[in-house]
Chains A and B, each alone.
Chain A
């Protein structure tokens, strides 16, 4: 079909105006994703620093991110909790926020990075139809949180190579993994943007002599490493003791040894390249799975999906799943329970001293984490 015009410049101007309107609208939508959710520091927060305080190469970049420091009155050992390594695994972010807003450290220091890959919080994964934010109800109003991408925003790191070669091991992965923070450790100063973020985290651990590192993740219900704690071999005793403690709290969790031939991950490289006990936790998140249906804020929060119910009936999942779903309260409670019990096991085994209080128990949070999130500012 052909529609001719004699005044092509006039139609071009009209169409360009329509393009400009569309660009204006879309720019508003995409730029809104760069807005960070509010976090209200609790009574235990003694300082808020930036990751660039440990690696200045990140200053004034999208990779720089807040580090909440909860320092106890007594000297002791330290723990680093990472949320938001993968920004489409929201219970890590929410668990980190809950620690910031509640935990009080009596002995030692707790470092919490809620948005480990800050850049990944500013976009969503293409063709996933994921929401850009989700809302959790609290007794005093709704709190919103960012739902982002598994990987660094391509606006901040581009192009992807055909093959991503991990710097210290030579491991070859698909090109898009070059923007995956949990394939970039231990990081390097002359590497790509994501490797520099990883280097910043590793530097924090080295400079502050962080004893325990816990990276909070989620996995889709059809993924085998789920409801598990993954431990570097040096941290295996600590992890074993912690999961026994968790079982006593009513949390069933498996333990997985960190594979020695899978590189770039926190539980492998931070254990190899620093002196920390490197651990990673996984909960079950249907909103990132391949079998899910419509993905919206409600699904992220309730963890309910009828297609996963069907998949469970066919025996295709690695976790029990029914109409009750896997709500974010339960997933966050698992993470918090893991952090608490790792610290307890660390003390019980005589590895050091890290005493934290004012953290709600699994039983208190499992049904509803809303009461443990600070009221939203008016």
Chain B
């Protein structure tokens, strides 16, 4: 279960960062940067 969860988190993280690089609207890029924070903390099993 844990590894499935981590795989889902990683999958989301990769797509969010990819979209962030493609995105032309800076405000949406900021949104993505905020979402990245909890996802990385989750991926590292810190929080």
Interface residues of A (CB under 8 A from B): 1-6, 8-9, 11-12, 15-16, 18-19, 22-23, 26-27, 30-31, 123, 155, 158-159
Contacts and interface: CB of A to CB of B under 8 A. Distances in A.
Q: Which 10 A-B pairs have the closest CB atoms?
A: A15-B33, A3-B26, A12-B21, A19-B36, A19-B33, A12-B20, A30-B47, A23-B40, A27-B46, A30-B46
A27 B41 contact: yes
A2 B25 contact: yes
Contacts of B1: 158-159
Contacts, number: 67
A16 B17 contact: yes
A8 B29 contact: yes
Nearest to B42: A155
B37 A23 contact: yes
A159 B24 CA distance: 36
A4 B26 CA distance: 6
A27 B44 contact: yes
Interface of B: 1-2, 5, 17, 20-27, 29-30, 32-34, 36-37, 40-41, 44-47
A155 B29 contact: no
Given A8-B21, A16-B36, A19-B36, A26 B26 contact: no
B24 A155 contact: no
B22 A8 contact: yes
B5 A11 contact: no
Nearest to A26: B41
Contacts of B45: 155
Contacts of A158: 1-2, 5
Contacts of A16: 17, 20, 33, 36
Main SS class of interface, B? helix
A9 B45 CA distance: 28
B29 A15 contact: yes
A12 B29 contact: yes
Contacts of B47: 26, 30, 123, 155
Contact of B27 (A3, A18, A23, A155): A3
Contacts of A31: 46
Given A23-B37, A155-B47, A158-B2, A4 B24 contact: yes
Contacts of A5: 24-26, 29
20 contacts: A3-B25, A4-B25, A8-B23, A12-B17, A12-B20, A15-B29, A15-B32, A16-B17, A16-B33, A18-B33, A19-B34, A19-B36, A19-B37, A23-B40, A23-B41, A26-B41, A30-B46, A30-B47, A123-B47, A158-B1
